[in-house]
Amino acid sequence: MIDEPVLCGMAQSVHDRPDPLFRMGNTNCGGCGLSNLMQMMRHAVAQRRVQLIIPACCAAAAGGTFPQSTYGVPTLLTTFASAAASASGVASVAQLNGEDTRVICLAGDGGTCDIGFASLSAAAERDEDILYICYDNEIYGNTGGQRSSATPAGAITTNTLKGKPEQKKDILSIMAAHRIPYAASISLAHAEDTVRKLGRALDLKGFRFLHVLAPCPTGWKSEPALGIELVRLAVRSGLFPVFEIFDGKRYVVNIEPDFSDEALGMYLSLQRRFQQSRLGAADLRPAIDLYWENLRALSGRNVPTRRTAEATAEWRR
Ligand SMILES: Cc1ncc(C[n+]2csc(CCOP(=O)(O)OP(=O)(O)O)c2C)c(N)n1
Ligand code: SF4
Ligand SMILES: [Mg+2]
């Protein structure tokens, strides 16, 4: 059992993979959520054989220049449009050769929700035997921080100088609508749940999709040391729901938020990307409550959100 993210590429227990998936000396910024994710993946992957497929993004840049490589497993860098298709091909060849290799496609939110979406959707529809992980830093980080369709409303990016007017795309629901065997969201602030779900997603067959909220101090204009705390606040407040979807129809909520407005306010105030739009908890709460009401209905657990609980109490009075 681990309580906090496994940092610095060091193996923490006998269950960890002895060689790092993601070596020290990579070019990620300090406090990058992608680095945290890769260290937790080392724990989840353990002794399994894996191959990585990575389209253009910070994870590709982090690989370094030949003959060095950040990655401790076979890694194929692709164009955006071909990432999921390339992963499908690599998985098929492994299967034809009788190799017990799990193929992981690791992509950013831009590569997933925007530029590579067509081949992602096609691979999901064909139920290819790949694990697709979207680390969502809510911007095009590698090219200087432009908006993506996963950027939340109100966030300043280099091409939304007054704050993005549109809402964040709900990529997890879109992928669940493909009725894939497994889709889940991952909180890097809950390492045990993260490692459990990574392990489950590695072992299942067919198309699996994981959505990870990945703090990006450079783009979010936040302190590098606060990344994990920001994720914790997003989960606590209900802003980032953590749940699993099996076969597009069975929903399981993994972490119950307390729907704290204080946590939501802190999440916003600790990131300078929200400063100019002056977003407050009250601006986001109605959309969060609506999302959770829907999620409750889908998961069959009728635990009221704070708003509905308050409304019911008021009605009773
Ligand atoms: C077809 C195409 N369009 C644009 C680019 C330029 N480009 C390289 S990385 C990148 C941003 C990727 O964003 P994301 O997938 O979110 O990954 P991040 O950089 O945030 O890790 C862009 C737009 C490209 N390489 N190919
Ligand atoms: S720009 Fe953001 S996502 Fe990219 S390496 Fe830096 S912190 Fe990580
Ligand atoms: Mg991104």
Look at residue 304 in the predicted model and tell me its pLDDT: 58
Distance between Cα 141 and ligand 2 center (Å): 6
Q: For 16-25, 101-110, 183-192, 210-219, which range has the lowest pLDDT when averaged over its residues?
A: 16-25
Q: Could you identify the atom of ligand 1 that is nearest to the CA of residue 219?
A: 20
Q: Is the pLDDT of residue 6 over 50?
A: no
Q: Is the pLDDT of residue 198 over 80?
A: yes
179 in any annotated domain: yes
Question: Nearest-5° angle of CA 63, CA 69, CA 72?
Answer: 100
- Token readout for 315 is 């009605």
Longest dimension (CA), the chain: 71
38 lines ligand 2 (CB under 6 A): no
Do the domain assignments include residue 5? no
Query: What string of H, E and C letters represents the secondary structure of the chain?
Result: CCCCCCCCCCCCCCCCCCCCCECCCCCCCCCCHHHHHHHHHHHHHCCCEEEEEEECCHHHHCCCCCCCCCECCCEEEECCCCHHHHHHHHHHHHHHCCCCEEEEEEEEHHHHHHHCHHHHHHHHHCCCCCEEEEEECCCECCCCCECCCCCCCCCCECCECCCCCCCCCCHHHHHHCCCCCEEEEECCCCHHHHHHHHHHHHHCCCCEEEEEECCCHHHHCCCHHHHHHHHHHHHHCCCCCCEEEECCCEEEECCCCCCCHHHHHHHHHCCHHHCCCCCCHHHHHHHHHHHHHHHHHHHCCCCCCHHHHHHHHHHHC
Instruction: Confirm if 282 and 259 have CB atoms less than 8 A apart.
Output: no
**Mean pLDDT on 12-34:** 87
Count of domains forming the chain: 1
Q: Has residue 314 got a pLDDT over 70? A: no
- Percent of the chain clearing pLDDT 90 (strictly above): 83
Peptide bond into 67 cis (omega under 30): yes
- Ligand 2 atom 6: the closest Cα is on which residue? 29
Each residue's pLDDT tens digit, 40-56: 999 999 999 999 999 99
Mean predicted lDDT score pLDDT of the chain? 92
Note whether residue 221 is domain-resident.
yes
Task: Quote the ligand 1 centre to 224 CA distance (angstroms).
Answer: 22
The predicted structure's pLDDT at residue 64:
86
Decide if 6 is inside a domain. Answer: no
The predicted structure's pLDDT at residue 30 = 94
Q: Is the pLDDT of residue 72 over 50?
A: yes
Whether 1 has a pLDDT exceeding 70, the answer reads no
Q: Which of 214, 223, 7 is CA-nearest to residue 111?
A: 214
Domain annotation covers residue 9: no
> Could you report the per-residue pLDDT of 124-174, keeping only the tens digit for each?
999 999 999 999 999 999 999 999 999 999 999 999 999 999 999 999 999
Domain containing 174: what range? 33-316
Average pLDDT over residues 63-70: 86
Ligand 2 pocket check for 231: Cβ under 6 Å: no
* Model pLDDT for residues 281-306, shown as the tens digit of each residue: 999 999 999 999 999 999 997 565 65
Residue 3 pLDDT grade (very low, low, confident, very high; cuts 50, 70, 90) = very low
What's the pLDDT at 14?
A: 75
Find, among 174, 293, 304, the residue nearest to 245 by Cα.
174
Q: Is the CB of 27 under 6 A from ligand 1?
A: no
Q: For residue 85, give the CATH number of its domain.
A: 3.40.50.970
| 143 Cα to the center of ligand 2, angstroms | 10
pLDDT higher than threshold 70 for residue 58: yes
94: in domain = yes
Per-residue pLDDT at 4: 46
Interval 214-259: pLDDT, tens: 999 999 999 999 999 999 999 999 999 999 999 999 999 999 999 9
For residue 28, tell me if it sits in a domain.
Answer: no
| 13 belongs to a structural domain | no
